[in-house]
Amino acid sequence: MEQHSIYLDNNATTPMHEDVIQAVHEANLLYGNASSMHSFGRDAAAAIEGSRAAIASLIDCDPSSVIFTSGASESNNTVFNIFREQIDLGSKRNRIVTTTIEHPSINELVKYLRNHGYKVDECPVDKEGLIDLEVLKGYLADDVALVSVMTGNNEIGTIEPIAEITKMAHEVGAYMHTDATQAIGKIPVTMKTWGVDYLSLSGHKFYGPKGIGVLAIAPKVPLAPFVHGGHQEGGMRAGTYNTASIVGIGVAAEIAQKELEEESKKLWDLREKLRKGIEERIPNIVVNGSQEHCLPGTLDVSFPHAEGESILLYLDLEGIMVSTGSACASGSLEPSYVLLASGVDIEMAHGSIRFSFGRYNTEEDVDYVLEKLPPIIKRLREMSTR
């Protein structure tokens, strides 16, 4: 029997592009410390600066804005900590506004900051996971230091109106951060046109290496060193440069920029083929999120009367890899907070599956899923209490 491996969990992480693997492999030989003055050091530094320029071009900012980090979680934490310091130093702007559907690296940080007495508001989203600008307006005033809203959601794929939100944040004198991790390589991301002050991204979500990301910081905004102990990255983040990974994320950025349009269309077509196929073949399902404002490769579906972890594991036994918002898969009793915050019923959240497409998926992959998924749902529903 032919063994299938169909990877539909690209929002969790992506495989490295073959050009990235090659570049990382070659850059591993550039062992000079990029901070050294000698030629080996300069070679490494030149490779890093090349990558910085590629990132800047991808997200439309100055190369000097790009700071390399270990990934978007670090970048997100850093932005909040910059403002935490401002507040600690007595800033009259002492409130942070974010949303209920941010990535855990913000969502958990919000809980932590609140427990430590900081004022953080989470603006709710509508049933599509979309921020209502009128609702957001109610959270904004001249005591707000920072507004942080993700560009596209990792679970349901909803794309937020970042340019409009940035405008509103600036109108009350607040700074704007967006976690663009899921949007990179899927939709155009532009720091300058949107006007955002801080932007986070992660290499491994767009075919780059794991453990490398970026915090892009616009000129003349609050800044504080987040790792002390060296002059790297303008003294903001100490630590010997991770040359190979930085080179890797740069190559990934070049590819993402070059192939954006084509890639975006391909992902949307695959997503739509799967959505229509599921709707035709499986009764009683609900597609979560927004159909209109959705990252092209993301499809989140709830299957009532079939539990998410069971669906995931039956699919895995057929070689299909997905993720679920079910509580069982998270090790807690609560299902996905993103789905609940988007008004998805708790039972529906337990039965949710996220299919996320990437550049290596094909129409045949979708056909295979459409062959294997319906009997799994049917079987689980027959087994389920009624």
In 3D, which of 327, 311, 288 has the Cα closest to residue 381?
Answer: 311
Of 117 and 331, which has the nearer Cβ to other proteins? 331
CB of 324 to other proteins, least distance (A): 9
* Least distance in angstroms from the C-beta of 310 to other proteins: 6
Nearest distance from residue 336's CB to other proteins, in Å?
12
8 A C-beta contact, residue 15 and residue 222: no
Q: Which of 61, 123, 294, 328 is catalytic?
A: 328
**In angstroms, what is the minimal distance from the CB of 139 to other proteins?**
30
Give me the least distance between CB of 317 and other proteins, in Å please: 7
- Angstrom CA distances, 190 to 52, 158, 198, 199, 234, stand at 16, 18, 11, 10, 23
Quote the Cα angle for 316-345-73, to 5°. 60
Nearer Cβ to other proteins, position 153 or 336?
336
Nearer to other proteins, 53 or 380 (CB): 380
Residue with Cβ nearer other proteins (121 or 318)? 318
- Judged by DSSP in three states, 196 sits in coil
One-letter amino acid identity for 105? S
CA distance 258 to 280: 35
Paired sense of beta strands 298-302 and 352-356, if any: antiparallel
- What is the sign, positive or negative, of the torsion defined by CA atoms of 320, 324, 327, 329? positive
CA distance 249 to 16: 10
CB 372 within 8 A of CB 315: yes
Q: Is 328 among the residues known to form the active site? A: yes
User: If you count them, how many residues does the chain have?
Assistant: 386
CB of 28 to other proteins, least distance (A): 17
- Helix, strand, coil in percent for the chain, rounding step 5: 45, 15, 40
Identity of the residue numbered 257 = Q
By beta-carbon proximity to other proteins, the closer residue of 89 and 333 is 333
Residues that bind other proteins (CB under 8 A): 305-310, 313, 317, 326-329, 331-333, 335, 346-347, 350, 382-386
Return d(Cα 136, Cα 129) in angstroms, integer: 13
> Among residues 352, 291, 350, which one has the least CA distance to residue 127?
291
Least distance between other proteins and beta carbon 302 (Å): 12
User: Closest by alpha carbon to 337, among 162, 149, 108?
Assistant: 108
Q: Cβ closer to other proteins: 37 or 333?
A: 333
Place of tokens 């603006």: 123
Q: Which is nearer to other proteins, 163 or 346 (CB)?
A: 346
Residue 195 near residue 147 (C-beta atoms within 8 A):
no
Nearest distance from residue 18's CB to other proteins, in Å? 19
CA distance from start to end of the chain: 36
Question: Within the chain, how many helices (H) and strands (E) appear?
Answer: 13, 13
Name which of 8 and 146 has its Cβ closer to other proteins: 8
Return the active site residues: 328
